[in-house]
């Protein structure tokens, strides 16, 4: 009798388990996500999907995670930052993964970070965007359009023509070129944006470490160089002739464009570059530098209210 009782209990248990499996399977195949998938794959039926229930269950769990997304950092999916999809092929069903929108954005930002190098440039400039650039001032529209056109058409290595933005403090010259760096990154064009006064100070300090050539070469070879606030520094004859000169000469020869911001126009910058810390005026040496700036840029004057004081 005891053996019969155990056999009966085992039979009931097995039947209950089978019923539960069937109930769970029915619930699984009745899930709205499955219904939606079947509507897009009319050649498939619930009956056909039954033998792929493990794959279907995994797909549902991952998709439900995405619907309650806690953010990329806390993504609970098997493959972080990826959406699961059911792929039907040759009578089979499998789960594939594609980056979600947050992962795509993170990858895009990482790629952009690799393409945009900077030296002592503030974060708000590096996050510059044409979309957020205030175009209400007529004194900035020509510069805006010129920089935007440059970003859409430039071909480093084929045309060395750059842009020279000049005007008073706080009118958005640096921000506009920060926006340019981000727009160029969308085209996979690398930029190096340098705060010129600080760069020259560091180059002078690099003499003892014999790293001057390394620093100069980085600016020579980048596809698009941005020299921010040129003329704001008290430049030495050595920095002018042995650093700035070779950088610009290399870029002209290799048809690599350079963008500039300055408070000076061309003539004022030439006068500034001619001044020697030793007290002399070296007009010809300054003129050589300016030949590489004047003839390989288009100048645009920017004016308007000082946005730095408005933000205080």
Domains in the chain, CATH or no CATH each: 2-99 (no CATH), 109-311 (3.40.50.300)
pLDDT at 25: 59
Average pLDDT for 117-121:
91
pLDDT at 14: 44
**The whole model's pTM is what?**
0.74
pLDDT at 133: 87
For the record, the structure tokens of 89 come out as 């092929």
Average pLDDT for 277-286:
79
pLDDT band at 56 (very low <50, low <70, confident <90, very high): confident
Query: Do 158 and 293 contact (CB within 8 A), yes or no?
Result: no
Query: Do 231 and 272 contact (CB within 8 A), yes or no?
Result: yes
- Tens digit of each residue's pLDDT (9 = 90 or more) over 137-186: 777 899 999 999 999 999 999 999 999 999 999 899 999 999 999 999 99
**Whole-angstrom Cα distance, residue 66 to residue 68?**
5
Query: Cβ neighbours of residue 85 under 8 Å, at least 6 residues apart?
Result: 59, 95, 96, 97, 98
Q: Which helix (H) or strand (E) segment is 245 a member of?
A: helix 245-253
Query: Do 120 and 229 contact (CB within 8 A), yes or no?
Result: no
- Top pLDDT among 27 and 204 is at 204
For the record, the structure tokens of 35 come out as 């219904």
What is the rounded average pLDDT for all residues in the chain?
Answer: 87
Query: Do 59 and 85 contact (CB within 8 A), yes or no?
Result: yes
Which stretch, 24-33, 36-45, 253-262, has highest mean pLDDT? 253-262
pLDDT at 194: 97
Q: Please report which residue ranges of the chain form alpha helices under DSSP H.
A: 2-29, 32-40, 46-49, 53-67, 101-115, 123-126, 138-153, 173-186, 196-205, 212-221, 237-238, 245-253, 266-274, 283-294, 307-311
pLDDT at 108: 85
Length, in residues, of the chain: 312
Which stretch, 20-29, 138-147, 177-186, 210-219, has highest mean pLDDT? 177-186
136 — phi, psi (to 5°)?
Answer: -75, -20
**Whole-angstrom Cα distance, residue 204 to residue 193?**
19
Measure the N-to-C terminal CA separation of the chain; round to a whole number of Å: 92
pLDDT band at 284 (very low <50, low <70, confident <90, very high): very high
172 by Cβ neighbours in 10 Å (0-12 / 13-18 / 19+) ranks as: buried
38 by Cβ neighbours in 10 Å (0-12 / 13-18 / 19+) ranks as: middle
**Whole-angstrom Cα distance, residue 272 to residue 30?**
77
CB atoms within 10 A of CB 113: 11
**Whole-angstrom Cα distance, residue 133 to residue 145?**
11
For the record, the structure tokens of 278 come out as 């030793």
Q: Which residues pair with 192 in a beta bridge?
A: 117, 225
112 by Cβ neighbours in 10 Å (0-12 / 13-18 / 19+) ranks as: middle
Tell me how many degrees the CA angle 290-148-163 measures, rounded to the nearest 5: 0
SS3 200: helix
One DSSP character per residue, 134-146 reads ----HHHHHHHHH
**Whole-angstrom Cα distance, residue 84 to residue 248?**
51
pLDDT at 18: 45
pLDDT at 6: 54
Query: Cβ neighbours of residue 251 under 8 Å, at least 6 residues apart?
Result: 160, 220, 225, 257, 258, 292
């Amino acid at each position: 009798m005891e053996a019969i009782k155990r056999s009966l209990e085992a039979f009931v248990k097995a039947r209950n388990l089978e019923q539960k499996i069937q109930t769970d399977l029915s619930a699984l195949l009745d899930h709205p996500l499955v219904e939606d998938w079947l509507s897009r794959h009319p050649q498939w039926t619930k009956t056909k999907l039954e033998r792929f229930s493990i794959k279907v269950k995994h797909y549902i769990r991952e998709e439900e995670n995405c619907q309650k997304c806690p953010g990329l950092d806390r993504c609970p999916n098997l493959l972080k930052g990826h959406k699961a999809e059911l792929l039907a092929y040759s009578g089979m069903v499998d789960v594939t993964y594609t980056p979600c929108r947050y992962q795509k954005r993170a990858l895009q930002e990482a790629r952009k970070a690799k393409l945009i190098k900077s030296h002592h440039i503030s974060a708000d400039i590096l996050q510059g965007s044409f979309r957020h650039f205030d175009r209400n001032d007529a004194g900035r529209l020509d510069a805006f359009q010129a920089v935007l056109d440059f970003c859409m058409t430039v071909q480093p290595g084929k045309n060395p023509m750059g842009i020279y933005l000049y005007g008073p403090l706080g009118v958005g010259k640096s921000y506009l070129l920060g926006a340019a760096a981000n727009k160029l990154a969308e085209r996979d064009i690398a930029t190096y944006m340098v705060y010129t006064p600080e760069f020259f100070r560091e180059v002078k300090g690099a003499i003892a470490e014999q790293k001057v050539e390394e620093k100069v070469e980085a600016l020579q070879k980048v596809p698009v160089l941005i020299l921010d606030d040129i003329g704001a520094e008290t430049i030495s004859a050595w920095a002018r002739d042995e650093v700035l000169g070779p950088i610009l000469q290399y870029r002209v020869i290799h048809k690599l464009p350079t963008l500039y911001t300055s408070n000076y126009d061309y003539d004022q910058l030439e006068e500034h570059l001619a001044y020697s810390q030793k007290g002399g005026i070296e007009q010809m040496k300054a003129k050589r530098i300016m030949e590489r700036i004047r003839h390989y840029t288009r100048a645009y004057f920017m004016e308007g209210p000082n946005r730095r004081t408005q933000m205080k």
